[in-house]
Amino acid sequence: MLALSFAVALAIGTALLMLPVSVVAEPPTDLMPAPTTAVGGATFVTAVFTASSAVAVTGLVVVDTATYWTPFGQAVILALIQVGGLGIMTFASLLAILMARRLGLRGRLQTSASVRTVGMEDLRGVVLGVARVAGTVQAVVAAILFVRLLTTHDLGPGAAAWNAVFLAGSSFNNAGFALASDNLMGFATDPLVLLPITLAVITGGIGFPVIFELRRHLGDRLRWSMNTNLVLAGTAGLLAVSTVTIAALEWTNPGTLGPLDWPAKLLNAFTAAAWTRTAGFNAVDVSAMHTQTWFAQDIFMFIGGGPAGTAGGIKITTFLVLFFIILTELRGETAVNAFGKRLARSVHREAVTVALLAVAVVMTGTWVLLITTHFTLDQILFEVVSAFGTVGLSTGITPAVPDAGKIMLAAIMFIGRLGPITLGTALATRSRKLLYELPKERPVIG
Domain positions in the chain are 2-429
Partners of residue 23 on adjacent β-strands: 69
Spacing of C-alpha 341 from chain mean position: 28
CA 318, 319, 322 angle in degrees (round to 5)?
85
pLDDT digits (tens, 9 = 90+) for 152-208: 988 899 999 999 999 999 999 999 999 998 999 999 999 999 999 999 999 988 987
pLDDT of residue 114: 40
* Amino acid identity at 286: V
C-alpha–C-alpha distance, residues 313 and 390, integer Å = 7
Contacts of 446 (CB under 8 A, 6+ apart): none
Partners of residue 338 on adjacent β-strands: 341
pTM score, two decimals? 0.86
C-alpha–C-alpha distance, residues 309 and 304, integer Å = 11
C-alpha–C-alpha distance, residues 50 and 357, integer Å = 25
pLDDT digits (tens, 9 = 90+) for 382-410: 999 999 999 999 999 999 999 999 999 99
pLDDT of residue 98: 57
CB 37 within 8 A of CB 23: no
pLDDT digits (tens, 9 = 90+) for 15-39: 999 999 999 875 444 433 444 444 5
pLDDT of residue 119: 46
pLDDT digits (tens, 9 = 90+) for 195-244: 999 999 999 889 877 888 888 888 788 888 888 999 999 999 999 999 99
Name the region of 27 (left: φ>0; alpha: ψ -120 to 50; beta: rest).
beta
Q: DSSP secondary-structure letter at 307?
A: T
Q: Which among 41, 216, 199, 249 is positioned nearest to 116, based on CA atoms? A: 216
How many alpha carbons fall within 13 Å on the CB side of residue 39?
5
From residue 32, how far is each of 28, 35, 67, 192, 436 by CA, in Å?
6, 8, 11, 30, 75
pLDDT of residue 44: 92
pLDDT digits (tens, 9 = 90+) for 357-377: 899 999 999 999 999 999 999
CB 250 within 8 A of CB 257: yes
C-alpha–C-alpha distance, residues 292 and 108, integer Å = 45
pLDDT digits (tens, 9 = 90+) for 92-122: 656 655 555 554 545 444 444 444 444 444 5
